[in-house]
């Protein structure tokens, strides 16, 4: 578990919030929190293929349960692991470095 990227901005308002997708490599993780969780609601097909490609390389995707529930996002794609705050803290302390 190498670098954990934290994405907290809406992909629709700030498209560059997804820049970490370009920098992630195997053994990295990307966690979506705050407005970043809206990525689970709708994402362009091209981005899906990009994410699935990263997943194939071993990049893990997480999404924060509290922020998902707060925004009434009922169906979370299976590519995301839904994590609570305790798990988020575990991730932050387990990964070698954090890019937020």
User: Which one of the spans 34-42, 54-62, 70-78, 91-99 is the region binding other proteins (CB under 8 A)?
Assistant: 91-99
Under rule CB under 8 A, residue 85 binds other proteins: no
> Could you tell me which of 8, 62, 72 has the C-alpha nearest to residue 35?
8
- Minimum CB separation of residue 69 from other proteins in Å reads 26
Distance of CA 19 to the CA centre of its chain: 12
How far apart are the two ends of the chain, measured CA to CA in Å? 16
- Minimum CB separation of residue 99 from other proteins in Å reads 5
67: which strand partners? none
Residue 60 DSSP class: E
**With CB under 8 A, what is the number of residues at the site for other proteins?**
12
Query: Using CB under 8 A as the criterion, which residues of the chain lie in contact with other proteins when the complex forms?
Result: 2-3, 16, 19, 22-25, 97-100
């Amino acid at each position: 578990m190498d670098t954990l990227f934290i994405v907290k901005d809406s992909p629709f308002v700030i498209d560059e919030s997804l820049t970490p997708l370009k920098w992630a490599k195997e053994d990295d993780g990307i966690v979506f929190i705050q407005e970043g969780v809206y990525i689970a609601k709708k994402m362009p097909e091209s981005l899906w293929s990009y994410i699935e490609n990263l997943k194939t390389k071993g990049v893990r995707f997480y999404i924060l349960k509290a922020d998902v529930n707060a925004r009434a996002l009922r169906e979370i794609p299976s590519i995301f692991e839904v994590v609570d705050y305790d798990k988020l803290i575990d991730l932050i302390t387990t990964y070698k470095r954090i890019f937020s």
